[in-house]
Amino acid sequence: MSLVIKAGLRDFGQTNWCVFRVRPPLLLIAGRPYNSGFDENISIVEGTLCVANQLPEFGGEERFAASSEKLFALLTNLDAMTATIPDLVSSEKVDERTMKCVVRPGFSFLRGTMKLVMKLGDVNPPESAQMTVEAQGIGVAMTIHSQLKISPEGEGSRLDWTAKVDQLKGLISAVSPGLIKAAADQVIRHAWSQVRTQLGE
């Protein structure tokens, strides 16, 4: 018996896809044996061998004409934040710190609907806040932790933010980091645009 395996192998920051046939239990990845019990970077999902990429991180700064207090109030208002989510299908507020959403992403590597759970973490008005987003879809699961820091700047405010994918499971773990970053950048640009619209800027 043999398996046909499709694997994404990292090579100088790029992901190269190859298809090869092997006979279990021995798999050779990049010239070394693969042990399913000990290699955390490699997994087999629905017959496809997935080589995990480095978990992506994002960050940046944004400047707003609104005050720190007004900006903080908007960014920690889960009802208002649903308007910044692209491809939103539905949303349900669980409590003041938790929101459930369903989205239908239009990316080539992420099809069908995904269920999101947005949870506010530690908040320190009007200076900082933390949020966790858990996403699940068909063969896909991820967890994203974000931190927001707001400071006065002139008559407006400055926002420094970071977002880190702490967990990435399923077939998406083998997707090129470049594709994930491009998709995330698109979502982030849309979100900040909607924030500015709600602030009247």
Same domain? For 181 and 138 the reply is yes
pLDDT in tens, 134-145: 999 888 888 999
Same domain? For 46 and 145 the reply is no
Phi, then psi, of 137 in degrees rounded to 5: -145, -165
Q: What residues have CB less than 8 Å from 57, skipping those under 6 apart? A: 162, 163, 164, 165
Same domain? For 28 and 68 the reply is no
Q: What is the pLDDT of residue 116?
A: 95
Same domain? For 105 and 168 the reply is yes
Q: What is the pLDDT of residue 122?
A: 96
Same domain? For 92 and 28 the reply is no
Same domain? For 40 and 118 the reply is no
The DSSP secondary-structure symbol of 41 reads T
Q: What is the pLDDT of residue 185?
A: 87
Q: What is the pLDDT of residue 172?
A: 74
Same domain? For 113 and 26 the reply is no
Same domain? For 28 and 126 the reply is no
Q: What is the pLDDT of residue 156?
A: 96
Helices assigned H by DSSP within 142-201: 177-199
Question: What average pLDDT does the segment 151-178 reach?
Answer: 86
Q: Is the pTM of this model over 0.85?
A: no
pLDDT band at 45 (very low <50, low <70, confident <90, very high): very low
Based on the structure, what is the number of domains in the chain? 2
Same domain? For 76 and 46 the reply is no
Asked which of 33, 51, 69 is the last residue of a domain, the reply is 51
Q: What is the pLDDT of residue 126?
A: 96
CATH number at residue 118: 3.30.530.20
Same domain? For 114 and 179 the reply is yes
pLDDT in tens, 13-24: 333 333 333 444
Phi, then psi, of 91 in degrees rounded to 5: -145, 150
Q: Which domain holds residue 20?
A: 3-51
Q: What is the pLDDT of residue 17?
A: 37
If residue 115 lies in a helix (H) or strand (E), which one and from where to where?
A: strand 114-124
pLDDT in tens, 68-122: 999 999 999 999 999 899 899 999 999 999 999 999 987 777 778 999 999 999 9
Among residues 162, 187, 192, 199, which one has the least CA distance to residue 87?
187
Q: What is the pLDDT of residue 54?
A: 63
* Displacement of CA 199 from its chain's centroid (Å): 25
Same domain? For 139 and 178 the reply is yes
Phi, then psi, of 90 in degrees rounded to 5: -155, 160
What average pLDDT does the structure give for the chain? 78
Same domain? For 111 and 77 the reply is yes
Asked which of 12, 33, 51 is the last residue of a domain, the reply is 51
Position with higher pLDDT, 64 vs 58: 64
Report the share of the chain in percent with pLDDT over 90. 48
Question: What average pLDDT does the segment 177-195 reach?
Answer: 86
Q: How far is CA 74 from CA 33, 83, 183, 189, in A?
A: 51, 11, 24, 17
